[in-house]
Structure 1
Amino acid sequence: MSETVTPSFCPNCGAKLKPGAKFCTSCGFDLTQFNAQLHQQATQRATQQQTVQQPHQPNPNVAAAKNYSTNYFSWLWDSIKHPSQTDIKANKFFGATSFAISSVLIGIISMVGLYRIFDAISKFESDLDSFVNSLGEAESEAPTTPVPTGNGFTIFLKVFIIALIFTAMFVLVGWLIRRYMLGDEHESYLSFATRLAGYSNINMIFLLLALIFIALLNALAGGALLFIFLGLCSTVYFVGYAYAILEFNQTRGMDKIYALLIALIVNSFLSMILMSIVGASVL
């Protein structure tokens, strides 16, 4: 770092100074202390300028999250427009992200739908009981309708976790069939999940529509449309599931039709088990 230049005039008395002088020959002012102060001030100004001029460094985790979300939603939209042309070589976690979002939607739909349906049933029972009493009939204990246990968030959390387990097991069965029965040794579990999600991402549109109708319409109309959209979701999912298995150019193992049949049978048993768990845990 360069030394501070000696001033040409004394800062104390104004007398002219010789170059490199340490003391004023007129008043005896100590120029070394003054030069040190100037040097310190110059250093502080340079540090402040560097701090101001230094560009703000973005948080790498935030930047990575933004980049991932941008790429994911671009892939999601492309897979909805052209499911059979899904980019299978995309980020291997895109499929898991899609299934997680779908599970969140299923949890919200279940939470809203259950309360609306049970409220409608309770109101109907109350009106029926009032009508019977108005006819002068003897009061009798009507069977009580079971109501959901726990608050709304508890129901959402239970259904969300069960939906995640349900999806993970379905993906596992399909991946095992494709890898070990059909001979696709290059397919990983996450890549198969991305493949299957790409073929069935249109389900998110049906789930969003189901949530809108169950939330805005009355319980009867909303419930009917809910079952229609859930049926469409199941159809799309199983079409994508079958396509993910049958599209592979088989190298060994049993016939692809029989492999798909085994996968569907196993998934049917898993569905019955998990649906019984859903009923026992939510009601």
Structure 2
Amino acid sequence: MDNTKKFCPHCGTEIKPEARFCPKCGYALDATPTPDEQPADQPQTREQAAASEGADTATNHSFDDVKRFSGNFFSWWVATVRHPSQVIPNANRSFGVIALALEDLLTVLMLVSLGKRLMGLYSSDVSQAVANMINVNGILFKFGLIVFCLILLGAAVYVSLSYGFRRLIDDQAPVNFWEFTNQFAGITNLILIFNLITFLLSLITSGANFSSYSLMILFMIPTSVILNVGYIFIIIHDVHHPRLDKFYTLLLAEAALAIAFLIFTYIAGSIVGGSIVNFIQSNYSSFMNSF
């Protein structure tokens, strides 16, 4: 007969060895073993250790995946810069979108950097209250965000139109839109280099150094040239049996691009102009009081 006394682990009341519930607090004794009966190596502890180890492993795997993805993207980008006209097989479907987004981001950062320098150049011509108001409202951040979205929309217009005309002229054209986007970005990836140069120039350019602005504009010209050449090239590249003459296809493609950007310019002007008007109207009284 076992004369070992047992106690409730919840309230400490002495209980009978065969009791299943504490007579005082009603604690279920079968759910949790008493301290004398609890094993030294608890299964729950092993499970917690396994869960912790699994969390650490998942974190390491996520970090490794990011490193691998970044390395693959950089390798793909270098390969496209070396051979823009060649299709890189087995590339991730998101590489093209990421490359276009990076190009747009550098452009926006360059514009925001120039905006800060110009604001600093002419800050002496306005009161400190007005300058503080502009900084608080984050006008440059809002402007950059709007421009980033507009540039992304413009890149989408280029890719979509070129994809449509490629399908029009070539019945063997790739069906997958994302693979086509990778090819378009691969042809125009040189833009990333020129955008990086203009961004670095914007960081070292002083507000009154207008010759540096001319140099920046000079580096921005190849961006437009590469984009338009890539738009034409990807439509007719490797088309051996066109359903429509290549000349007329390109003529239609350029006309469609011109019409699309007339509409795009009107929409962009309405958005940016409307934002500026709203900003001036909402802060008109502050401007008047500051002078």
- With the shorter chain as reference, the TM-score category is 0.5 to 0.7
Give the 5 Å matches for 1:139-218.
151-218=139-206
Structure 1 partner of 2:27: none
Q: Does the residue aligned with 1:187 lie in a helix, a strand or coil?
A: coil
Give TM-score, length-normalised by structure 1.
0.68
Which of 231, 236, 261 is matched with 1:271 structurally? 261
Q: Which moved more, 1:231-240 or 1:58-67?
A: 58-67
Structure 1 partner of 2:45: 48
Question: What whole-Å deviation, never above 9, does each CA across 1:31-63 have from its counterpart, x for those lacking one?
Answer: xx8x9856523342x653564467333057666
Give the 5 Å matches for 1:100-119.
100-117=101-118
Which of 201, 221, 226 is matched with 1:236 structurally? 226
Structure 1 unaligned blocks of 5 or more:
1-21, 127-146
Structure 2 partner of 1:138: none
Q: 1:269 to 1:112 in 2, by over 3 A?
A: farther
Structure 1 partner of 2:252: 262
Structure 2 partner of 1:140: none
Question: What whole-Å deviation, never above 9, does each CA across 1:155-175 have from its counterpart, x for those lacking one?
Answer: 101100110110101111100
Q: 1:269 to 1:36 in 2, by over 3 A?
A: closer
Contact 1:182 1:256 in 2 (8 A): no
Q: Does the residue aligned with 1:70 lie in a helix, a strand or coil?
A: helix
> Residues of 1 paired with 2:261 and 2:116: CA distance?
23
Shift of 1:230: 1.4
Structure 1 partner of 2:81: 80
> Residues of 2 paired with 1:123 and 1:52: CA distance?
60
Structure 2 partner of 1:68: 69
> Residues of 2 paired with 1:266 and 1:186: CA distance?
21
Q: Does the residue aligned with 1:68 lie in a helix, a strand or coil?
A: helix
Q: 1:267 to 1:116 in 2, by over 3 A?
A: farther
Give the 5 Å matches for 1:114-129.
114-117=115-118
Contact 2:115 2:140 in 1 (8 A): no
Identical aligned residues as a percent: 23
Contact 1:213 1:226 in 2 (8 A): yes
> What amino acid does structure 1 have at the position aligned with 2:40?
A
Structure 2 partner of 1:135: none
Contact 2:174 2:180 in 1 (8 A): no
> Residues of 2 paired with 1:106 and 1:184: CA distance?
35
> What amino acid does structure 1 have at the position aligned with 2:253?
A
Contact 1:111 1:152 in 2 (8 A): yes
> Residues of 2 paired with 1:277 and 1:117: CA distance?
26
> What amino acid does structure 2 have at the position aligned with 1:58?
A
Q: 1:277 to 1:119 in 2, by over 3 A?
A: farther
Contact 1:196 1:244 in 2 (8 A): yes
Larger radius of gyration: 1
Shift of 1:186: 2.9
Question: What whole-Å deviation, never above 9, does each CA across 1:61-82 have from its counterpart, x for those lacking one?
Answer: 6665554333222212222233
Structure 1 partner of 2:99: 98
> Residues of 2 paired with 1:208 and 1:214: CA distance?
10
Aligned-pair RMSD on alpha carbons? 3.5
Give TM-score, length-normalised by structure 2.
0.66
> What amino acid does structure 2 have at the position aligned with 1:221?
S
> Residues of 2 paired with 1:256 and 1:111: CA distance?
41
Shift of 1:29: 6.0
Contact 1:110 1:159 in 2 (8 A): no
Q: 1:276 to 1:43 in 2, by over 3 A?
A: same
> What amino acid does structure 2 have at the position aligned with 1:101?
L
Contact 1:210 1:226 in 2 (8 A): yes
Which of 193, 197, 217 is matched with 1:227 structurally? 217
> What amino acid does structure 2 have at the position aligned with 1:235?
V
